[in-house]
Structure 1
Amino acid sequence: MGSETTERNDTLLGNGVIGILAETVNMWERRAPLTPSHCARLVLGGGKRESGVNRIIVQPSTKRIHHDAQYEDAGCEISEDLSECGLIVGIKQPKLEMILPDRAYAFFSHTHKAQKENMPLLDKIMEERVSLFDYELIVDDDGKRMLAFGKFAGRAGLIDFLHGLGQRYLSLGYSTPFLSLGQSHMYPSLAAAKAAVIAIGEEIATYGLPSGICPIVFAFTGSGNVSQGAQEIFKLLPHTFVDAEKLPELSAGKSLPPHHQSTRRAFQLYGCVVTSKDMVAPKDPSRCFDKADYYAHPEHYRPVFHERIAPYASAIVNCMYWERRFPRLLSIDQLQQLMKNGCPLVGISDITCDIGGSIEFVNKSTSIERPFFRYDTSTNLYHDDMEGDGVICLAVDILPTEFSREASQHFGDILSRFVTSLASAKGLLELPSHLRRACIAYTGKLTPLYEYIPRMRKTMIELPPTPANSLPDKKYTTLVSLCGHLFDKFLINEALDIIETAGGSFHLVKCDVGQSIDDMSYSELEVGADDTTTLDKIIDSLTSIANAHRGDPNAAEISLKIGRVSECGIDDSMDKVGPKVLILGAGRVCRPAAEFLTSYQNIDQVHVVVASLYQKDAEETVDGIKNATAAQLDVSDTESLSNLVSQVLML
């Protein structure tokens, strides 16, 4: 059997035969990784000698945007059987039973974060000795994703939202030109969809919009491809972009006499591109917003989007990347209060479709056939209609396929540049570095870059919920946030080794893997131990990683944040001492203060607790001081702060 496997790998991998999958996961998926024109250039443009591609076999599909006959005309073979293909490409994952052994596959697998729902796919990949390349992990020399549909998601997301906005305004008693706009998939091309948007823009410019819903303000979050695509569509309408600080002034212009409100119409929309400085502000009012500091220490900032932007927005187009360590763009409580205060917000297009993410009430994705749901802020209930109180929300997670033709052309233009390497390479080392990095598994074994996946899977076993944590077998737990080049430089493995070697355990709470060689990755681990000594040892060791080579641009740097420790983050022996004094911070003035307090003769057994965000800093401050204890504390965690303050006599 071993010799047969080796022989099959030698004869299939790199044999120059490409298979194109029929998409089966979603009925709306009509995209293709390569169009007929791409295939023609690969097969007919000199053959394997020049392109590395000898044949292309296409699985038949009656819903693909390009017909089978078009592929045949391009020199492809049409067949359900892809067994002769060394490389098989698609957009979404194939059905498990369709995966053939000893081949190379390329598609969006959504497995590199150990996503639970896709682990059966990864198991099948390894069982069948498959080599898996994930498009999401392919980045160019500048560290940007090469194969992405962001602009198409933004374009489709805004057009679909405008379509729903027309229906929503009608249910509120207003007829608008938006009502005549269809969803993106209803147009034969992106150009046709844009023409329809231009047409309603001309109607707005000519006849205006009802004064009762004006000014209509669109707030765009994010500045990447998704936001650019959405703004591209918005700019086809008569519009003016305004700075965030001008929104109150714009809204004040709405205060017209009642007679004018019933007759006066507006002839344009307003847009506002929201950046991080408009979303958060320093908790310390004496400080100014600093983007670098915000990304390094988001715990020092509070959300202000609900104060500065949302009160004036008719629509929010959410295109931003978000991690749990950052404040939410809009919480449920904030949205409910906004609507109570008469906020003009009608709807949200959550193009990111981040469930439970930056917009908290978005608790599910929607489909192309039913793209909207309505959230009633007064009752906290969700509805699948457009009529009634609340805001509407679009949260479709497959938007780019609505422009299947253009999206496929864009995707294939890039994929065809390196599919030749994938089709002809006999071994992983023959591939360029950006393709090697995108290989999750090679011949059924995880590549070194992704060897962390099994360890993460172990932590995702369902555990019975407990009041304090998800590690019920451990007495003490804390939330550890790690940010840095965790995966590409194997730091995550080092961190997990530290936890397990010390006798602790961990549970993965959150994982966001950086999309490029320059991007940071972020993980949240709930770390547990049987006693505070072990937990402190783990925290100290993790802190030593974070502090190693800090400031060296060539070092594999990692930043660390320790959250709330259950059962209190200080030693139990503290309960046996006398009065306690809490010092917040571990700066230069803290050690002299601790020395003075513990040596004060008129008070017996004074115990000083020095609490700092970083455990190591606190320990260095109290080192050698009798009756002084270090504690880790994030002061933004009000529960932990209150718990610690309640145990001391003086702060």
Structure 2
Amino acid sequence: MIRPIRVSRPFTRSTYLSRRDLTTLGLRREDPKRIWERRTALTPDAIRGLIQAQRSTGAGELKVEVESCGRRCFSDQLYSEAGAKIVPLLSNEVDVILGIKEPPLAEVHRLTKDGKKRKWMVFSHIHKGQEYNTPLLAAFLPPSQGQTLIDHELLTAPATSKERKVTRARVAAFGWYAGAVGAGEALSMTGIALLKRGIASPLLHLPRPYASGTLAEFKASLRKCGESVRSSPELETKGQGPIVIGVTGAGNVSTGSKDMLDELNVEWVKAEDLAGLKDAPSNRIYGCIIPSSSYITRKDGSSYDRAEYYRTPEKYKSFFAEKIAPHITTLINGVGWSSTFPRTISNSDLSSLLNAAGDKQKLLAVQDITCDKEGGLEFVNQFTTIDQPCFKGPGGILISSIDILPTELAADASAHFSSKILPYVTRALFPDVKGDKAGEEDTIERAKIVDEGKLLEQHGWLMPRVQAWGGHSSNSSDVAPIREDKLALTSQKKKKILLLGSGLVAGPAVEVFAARSDVHLAIASNNISEARSLIKDRSNVEAISLDVGDEVALSEAVAAADVVVSLLPAQMHPQVAKHCINHSRHLVTASYVSPEMKSLDQAAKEKDVLLLGECGLDPGIDSMAAMRILDRVQREGKKVTSFVSWCGGLPEPSASDVPLRYKFSWSPKAVLTAAQNDAHYKLNNEIVRVPGDQLLSNHFPEVKLWPELQLEGLANRDSMPYAEKYGLGETDGLKDLFRGTLRYQGFSRLLESFRRLGLLRNEALKEVPENWEGFLLASTARELGYDKSLKDNDLPSALSDLLGSHKTEEVLEALKWFSLLPSTSSPPSPLPLPNLRAPVPVDLFAHLLSHKLSYSKGERDTCLLHHSFTLSPTSSLSGQKQPEQKVTASLLCYGDENASAMSVTVGKTLAFAALRVADGLVRGRGVKGPYEREVWEGTLDKLEEVGVVVKEKWD
């Protein structure tokens, strides 16, 4: 039985309403499509107390309507007995509409037709710009009148100062229930995991939390199970010792788990005692709260220091797989993770654990309550559901990662939520009455997204997408609600996408486009067999043969599309863009906006055309991730004083044991060209310019970002314009403004040697070489100023002249590996020289590298991104100097057997951005980069859905 909610005095006789009228509260039923959503925002007891409190004031009548619902955790009868009226649908009399999740669109339209002022209190899933709920937001705006939307998620307590950080806590949190239910799921899963090993334990009969109905009943089940364990004979555990449950974390989640394990009557042990449990009685269950200090250690072997760990986590490593995992049966994970911190158990850690344990493996089950996909527990790579609570992971480990755990104890979770939300429901019903608690009115105001039909200023950035959905211009202030029948009509028309190119990054882009049934994709390529291989029986994809040098054919292809997406080399984009302008078609590319493209800006605007560039990885995701952080920086009134960014695509370390420590997942020539670009940046208050022919020799020999990766870096082009692009302010106010490219250590030194040998030159050789050795000798001779070609025996002295004697031997070995010199250890390269009329060294060398440094079967690449911001407040009310704040954003993405990380991060980013253009969600025109919210936010959201997540850390 749920205890009655105690209602604080919302009114007194001295502060009651001056008007004696009727106020109506409407309690919605949740969307029937949400099968497991059985919670309610107010319990029957809360409604009874609310009605009685209102009657005691004599200030008027409160009426409560409750929509009938057979799935809700409290019956209609209980609400009726509490004084509510049970209705099939809420009437037009309601003043405040209360629910848990967002209401269906049709319900909002039904209740907004009459123009009556109403307040809606729900988790609306709108304020972050969630695209799927844009029509819902539009429904609260004109021509609907008087609607106010209050979001539960934005109901926050007054700010408190703690450790120099200003935070606003949400008024309702469910961490304890997540931990409690998670412990129950973990125990049930452990029973199944043991059975799979041939061991029948009392845990097998423990009901899952949702089957118990209430928290009290679940606790009783746990106590009964614990008694059964202790009264049973010792289990035959096949030499694995007793059941041991490990719990990580130190917050509400772990507290909830611990409380449930206490009901089971586990015997608690310390982490350092786990190894000694092997011979303990097996008719006992042991529990261990595992602090970070028991498995996080400095890499140099010294002890854990909590303050230092959070300040410089790169100095630390997790030994969980070595010290803890071999001694526990089940892990309940309640500790969060950020990309700058070591993983609790990485994939390689787990692999080592499984290999060492063999058939003696003790760890059988993992309950990841944090649901941090591929996070602290890297092997947790999918979410599970209440219907299908677990999946089989490496080594047969059962893994559960349910992200709606509290709903399994719906009545108790509802009672908890009801007690927290009640004062604010009261305030919404009776805003003119002074409440008992200071700050309630401010809490309501902070939680408003729409106030009487007006989108509030802090959420104003949502208006362009509402206008896009409604078909209005960006200057329109009257936004019509989006009708469902209008959306259905619009979706019948296919959006025609033309994809130019079928190369290395095309596959993931095609996958994104083809997944949309309202899209027809044409892949245009001069390699028709390659283009056809990307179709894969998809009915909405076709391949067409196209030579982009044929202006007539290119023009016809562009004219037939709505949006053109170009994977062609960057120098070809202006040619394509001119056809797009001519036919009023939008263009999206992954390349930097060149001066040639920028010159088309006015012409594009005149034809209402968008030429959107820089929508790949770098440029692309890097800028989008930066803009997301800077958007928050601006809203919080802070200023950037330092911005340092690194990005790169590399082979995973195990595949990097080759000269240059590099392999190609995209254009080799682009890599070689980028290594010779001029650079311009600011570091430590000093502006630096590096000519392109000195870039490699002026590399950064050590870049410490990920402790397991030995990285170096190169400055990436001109960083200075990004002060304006990103809105960072004047460069004089920045200590650092730097963008760099990541490589493994040794790359720059060797590539600089190749540059000095003339292999990266862009001017054609006088004669066509007969073989690869002749190519090297001819290039080197030109660098030395020789009129004639070198002989083989001249090369060592020539290398010494060009490079210095200390580098000669290393470079000779690399040249032999690349088959540019004869080698006794390996045969000459069977790769013929390409048939070029004008042999350009960089083209020949890129062709060679594309074959010699290609990925072998089973090898993976990785894409890395790391932003570092330093922030300072723009002003201080106290007049005292405020501390600086550090913010980082990190991405570490690995390829797999289906697609490289580079093709995913470039191809899918490009496709998601292009679809936003095709859907009319990007209103800008002219030549643009991804610097507007209407581009970066939705694109990043879609990338996160496919596992490409840029993780932020705010100190």
Same fold (TM > 0.5): yes
User: Which of 69, 73, 76 is equivalent to 1:61?
Assistant: 69
Question: What letter is aligned with 2:591?
Answer: K
1:623-644 per-residue CA deviation (whole Å, 9 max, x = no partner) reads 9xxxxx996559xx6x465654
Instruction: Find the residue that maps to 2:399 and give its secondary structure.
Output: strand
Query: Taking structure 1 as reference, are residues 103 and 648 closer, same or farther at Cα in structure 2, changes over 3 Å only?
Result: farther
TM-score by length of 1: 0.67
The residue that corresponds to 2:423 in the other structure is 417
Does residue 268 (structure 1) correspond to residue 274 (structure 2)? The answer is no
The residue that corresponds to 1:210 in the other structure is 236
Q: Distance in 2 between matches of 1:276 and 1:329?
A: 9
Question: What letter is aligned with 1:20?
Answer: L
User: Which of 556, 562, 581 is equivalent to 2:645?
Assistant: 562
1:532-564 per-residue CA deviation (whole Å, 9 max, x = no partner) reads xxx9xx99xx99x99x9xxxx996789866231
The residue that corresponds to 1:132 in the other structure is 149
The residue that corresponds to 2:211 in the other structure is 186
Q: Which moved more, 1:36-45 or 1:314-323?
A: 314-323
Q: Distance in 1 between matches of 2:463 and 2:318?
A: 36
Question: What letter is aligned with 1:105?
Answer: W
Query: Taking structure 1 as reference, are residues 147 and 578 closer, same or farther at Cα in structure 2, changes over 3 Å only?
Result: closer
Query: Taking structure 1 as reference, are residues 311 and 457 closer, same or farther at Cα in structure 2, changes over 3 Å only?
Result: farther
The residue that corresponds to 2:179 in the other structure is 154
Q: Distance in 2 between matches of 1:52 and 1:505?
A: 61
Does residue 358 (structure 1) correspond to residue 365 (structure 2)? The answer is no
Q: Which moved more, 1:107-116 or 1:16-25?
A: 107-116
Does residue 199 (structure 1) correspond to residue 224 (structure 2)? The answer is yes
Q: Distance in 2 between matches of 1:321 and 1:168?
A: 25
The residue that corresponds to 1:11 in the other structure is none
User: Which of 437, 440, 456 is equivalent to 2:449?
Assistant: 440
Query: Taking structure 1 as reference, are residues 609 and 170 closer, same or farther at Cα in structure 2, changes over 3 Å only?
Result: closer
The residue that corresponds to 2:127 in the other structure is 112
1:287-324 per-residue CA deviation (whole Å, 9 max, x = no partner) reads 76444454455455444433343333321112233344
Pairwise CA distance, 1:416? 1.0
User: Which of 4, 7, 28 is equivalent to 1:21?
Assistant: 28
Instruction: Find the residue that maps to 2:263 and give its secondary structure.
Output: coil
Pairwise CA distance, 1:231? 1.2
Unaligned runs of 5+ in 1: 1-13, 257-263, 378-388, 478-502, 510-523, 530-534, 587-607, 617-622, 624-628
Q: Distance in 2 between matches of 1:225 and 1:68?
A: 32
**Does the CA-based 8 Å contact 1:149-1:407 persist in structure 2?**
yes
Pairwise CA distance, 1:445? 4.5
Query: Taking structure 1 as reference, are residues 175 and 410 closer, same or farther at Cα in structure 2, changes over 3 Å only?
Result: same
1:22-37 aligned at under 5 Å gives the runs 22-24=29-31, 25-37=33-45
**Does the CA-based 8 Å contact 1:152-1:226 persist in structure 2?**
yes
- C-alpha root-mean-square deviation of aligned residues, in Å? 4.7
Instruction: Find the residue that maps to 2:645 and give its secondary structure.
Output: strand
**Does the CA-based 8 Å contact 2:697-2:748 persist in structure 1?**
no
Q: Distance in 1 between matches of 2:82 and 2:210?
A: 26
Q: Distance in 2 between matches of 1:291 and 1:456?
A: 44
Q: Distance in 2 between matches of 1:506 and 1:54?
A: 57
Q: Distance in 1 between matches of 2:342 and 2:58?
A: 52
Q: Distance in 1 between matches of 2:179 and 2:416?
A: 15
**Does the CA-based 8 Å contact 2:180-2:257 persist in structure 1?**
yes
User: Which of 339, 344, 348 is equivalent to 2:366?
Assistant: 348
Question: What letter is aligned with 2:351?
Answer: Q
Question: What letter is aligned with 1:320?
Answer: V
The residue that corresponds to 1:372 in the other structure is 390
Question: What letter is aligned with 2:154?
Answer: L
Does residue 219 (structure 1) correspond to residue 246 (structure 2)? The answer is yes
The residue that corresponds to 1:73 in the other structure is 81
Q: Distance in 2 between matches of 1:569 and 1:16?
A: 70
The residue that corresponds to 2:781 in the other structure is none
**Does the CA-based 8 Å contact 2:644-2:738 persist in structure 1?**
no
**Does the CA-based 8 Å contact 2:249-2:291 persist in structure 1?**
yes
Pairwise CA distance, 1:425? 3.2
Pairwise CA distance, 1:351? 2.0
1:36-51 aligned at under 5 Å gives the runs 36-47=44-55, 49=57
The residue that corresponds to 1:170 in the other structure is 195
Q: Distance in 2 between matches of 1:277 and 1:463?
A: 55
1:457-503 per-residue CA deviation (whole Å, 9 max, x = no partner) reads 99xxx9999499999734369xxxxxxxxxxxxxxxxxxxxxxxxx9
**Does the CA-based 8 Å contact 2:134-2:465 persist in structure 1?**
no
* Higher RCO (C-alpha 8 Å, min separation 6): 1
Residues matched between the structures, number = 521
Query: Taking structure 1 as reference, are residues 300 and 120 closer, same or farther at Cα in structure 2, changes over 3 Å only?
Result: farther
The residue that corresponds to 2:402 in the other structure is 396
**Does the CA-based 8 Å contact 1:371-1:396 persist in structure 2?**
yes
Question: What letter is aligned with 1:228?
Answer: T
Pairwise CA distance, 1:407? 1.5
The residue that corresponds to 2:693 in the other structure is 576
Pairwise CA distance, 1:230? 1.1
Larger Rg: 2
**Does the CA-based 8 Å contact 2:676-2:693 persist in structure 1?**
no
1:529-548 aligned at under 5 Å gives the runs none
- Percent identity, please: 27
**Does the CA-based 8 Å contact 1:474-1:528 persist in structure 2?**
no
1:61-114 per-residue CA deviation (whole Å, 9 max, x = no partner) reads 112121112112211111212422222111122222112335322222333333
Q: Distance in 1 between matches of 2:331 and 2:422?
A: 36
Q: Distance in 1 between matches of 2:139 and 2:411?
A: 31
Q: Distance in 2 between matches of 1:117 and 1:194?
A: 39
The residue that corresponds to 2:262 in the other structure is 235
